[in-house]
Amino acid sequence: MAKSVRQSLYYVLLWLISIAFFLPVLWIFLAAFKTKEQILAIPPKWIFTPTFENISNMFSGMNFEKYAVNSVIISLSAVVIAIIVSFFASYSFSRYKPKGTDFLMFLLLSMRMVPGAAVVVPIYLMYTALGWKDTYYGIILLYAMFSIPFSVWILKGFIDGVSLRYDETALVNGGSRMHVMFRVILPQVKPGLVAAFIFNIIFVWNEFLFNFIIGGKKVTTIPVALATGLYKTHGVDWTFIASLSLVYMLPLILMIYFFQRYLLVGMTFGTVRGEV
């Protein structure tokens, strides 16, 4: 009996910690359903009659749909391109171990060490010179580049874990290399693909700096719309920020709820496969 009480207290403590970390996010989400006066009210209002006006205003006002569609198209295509390209490379790294594999793997990781504010200067100059500013392919391929290093690391870990016998059996039975890669190996590394996808989409979905600098009217995503749409005539437009943040964050929250296992796999480059 004493043990089960202790256990319950332990679970209550863990729940309280989780909620404590969630509180600021909750405060933003609540604001999405408040009027402007309620958001700025002192003492703070935790209980109130929710209004859906902010969210409906957001959908009808500004170019919400355009920015949201941009966010979805750009994030999805960048990450998918990165994963396809990375799958080829990691298959090669894992199965053929070409000369310089270790060095190339390190170089790839170093792509992500560079501070964004440092890369953005030359990228900006290059994009201006080549006329790639404010184009979909310009921004998509740039984000794909950012997503490649971790995808290669994660996928190589997974392909290493698939026994070579599968390749050999398929080849002996007359399958081509393409057949081996797509029909034999690919289905077995699905968790790796999901993990790489989740890991990278979190970054790309929230990315601000590059889209702000090398993007433009055509390819604006929500984070940039959020940063540039802050001010109304009377100071910061809190209802707008709150409702936009809520709508924009929901897909990611649902994703880490339903694919929680893969979040862990991705964060450790596939070195951990089990449950958290």
Partner 1 sequence: MKGIAKWLHERNLFPYALLVPVLIFFIVWNILPLLWMVGLSFYKYDITTGEPLKFLGMDNYQAIFRDHGIWQALSKTFLFVILAVGLETILGMALGFLFWGSSKMPGRRLALTLLFSPMILTPVAAGTFFRLIYDPVFGIANYYLEAWFGLKINFLGDVKWAYPAVLMVDIWMWTPFMILMTLAALGSVPKAELEAAQVDRLPWIRRLWHIVLPHGKFILMLGILLRTIDAFKTMDLIYTMTSGGPGNATELIAISLFRKAFEAFTMGNASALAIISLLIAIAFTSIYLYILNYKERRA
Site for partner 1 in 143-162 (CB under 8 A): 144-145, 148, 152
Q: Count CB-CB contacts under 10 A for residue 202.
A: 18
CA dihedral 217, 225, 251, 195 (to 10 degrees): 70
Residue the block writes with tokens 């950012």: 146
Looking only at residues 26 through 85 of this chain, which bind partner 1 when binding is defined by CB under 8 A? 27-28, 31, 39-40, 42-44, 85
Q: Report if residue 238 touches partner 1, rule: CB under 8 A.
A: yes
- In a 13 Å sphere around the CA of 230, the CA atoms on its Cβ side amount to 6
Question: Which region among 60-68, 161-169, 186-194, 235-243 touches partner 1 (by CB under 8 A)?
Answer: 235-243
Q: Which is nearer to partner 1, 27 or 59 (CB)?
A: 27
Range 197-216, binding partner 1 (CB under 8 A) = 202, 205-206, 208-209, 213
Q: How far apart are CA 225 and CA 206, in angstroms?
A: 12
Count of Cβ atoms closer than 10 Å to residue 165 Cβ: 8
Q: Is 86 in the site for partner 1 (CB under 8 A)?
A: yes
For residue 222, state whether it binds partner 1 (rule: CB under 8 A). Answer: yes
Sole residue written with tokens 């929710």: 50
Is 196 a residue that touches partner 1 (CB under 8 A)?
Answer: no
Q: How far is the CB of 251 from partner 1 (least distance, A)?
A: 10
Q: Between 1 and 274, whose beta carbon lies closer to partner 1? A: 274
Please check whether residue 259 is in contact with residue 194, taking contact to mean a CB–CB distance below 8 angstroms: yes
Residue 142 makes contact with partner 1 by CB under 8 A: yes
Closest-CA residue to 61 (of 213, 212, 239): 239
Which residue's CB is nearer to partner 1, number 96 or number 234? 96
